[in-house]
Structure 1
């Protein structure tokens, strides 16, 4: 005859006691991790705020109006602005105003732009291999209000005799004897004829000579971004 003895289950209090230390250790570990993450985030935010506040106090020079390359920068051409200095830019601080006023612009300076050290000094524009020319453009032969920096196709019509023999020129297929070149608009001002304008163009030196020496009317075709 066999006798089976059943051991009574441990009481809830005993089970709780056995699982308690491991459970509490896990809670403490999770709290340490959370506290460490919060500490790192707090340090980053504090550093960012302090750095932003420090840079926001910095004063730099900016252009009140455009200055052509080679022109002398006057006192009225610059003003003081408060900005956070972007990394890597050699901006000129407000206390170095004397290093800018009275010197020449090395490159064309746009109104509202910040003054960088490399932009002040002996003229270095146009770059080697490039040239700037001014061409008269009659009314209706260029888009209205051409802005500096606009990329255009320059088409110079052929002489009158060639125009009579040829077809209608386009930006891709100019008429026989016509000149075609790619250029960047530097400036645009009113011309002598009503509705016309004189446009300054930056283009390759060899093409600049060809366009400047060509006879015929000039047409400008504006290109889109990336063209």
Structure 2
């Protein structure tokens, strides 16, 4: 049944988790609110990406390196750095190097991801910046159907169902077709590669950490930018 109140609460919960927007909710939330809010993630990604697209228009005034750094800074601020922080924690959990600091894997990973962002943002079409976060947040929903193990330790993926996945898939491809139809190809390849990676991790890792969600978002976004560049879209 259509429950506008639950949908609004769900959207607010997603905004509070993944953006700087912190709206106080004077009501108790439940599982249904989270389930209704999950579908808003691709649209939240669209809003984040569209502002990045607007910032990229400053390239006619300023240097490309400055603009790409500015966009990365904006992304980190608007998302409260929550996804990169999750990636840092996940890499430290997955990659454990002998005789090294417990944080070295995460530190190296974040540095590499940041350098890739700065490099790739400069050379991909501006429209790819709109679709990048759409792909990242949609993948979180889509990849949830691939994971076979218990997802109770996650905060969002445990609420994602088959219909959420289908909706995220449709929304992301529709947006790609609207803003730049050529991006449909790298988006398809991104989901395929992400699916293979997650399927492999699902078989090898005994238990996913709660930070795995941000890791999925960041890795999907980087893969999307790399494939877009390789295909010379």
TM-score (norm 2): 0.20
Q: Structure with the greater relative contact order (CA < 8 A, sep ≥ 6): 1 or 2? A: 2
More helix by share: 2
More strand by share: 1
TM-score (norm 1): 0.20
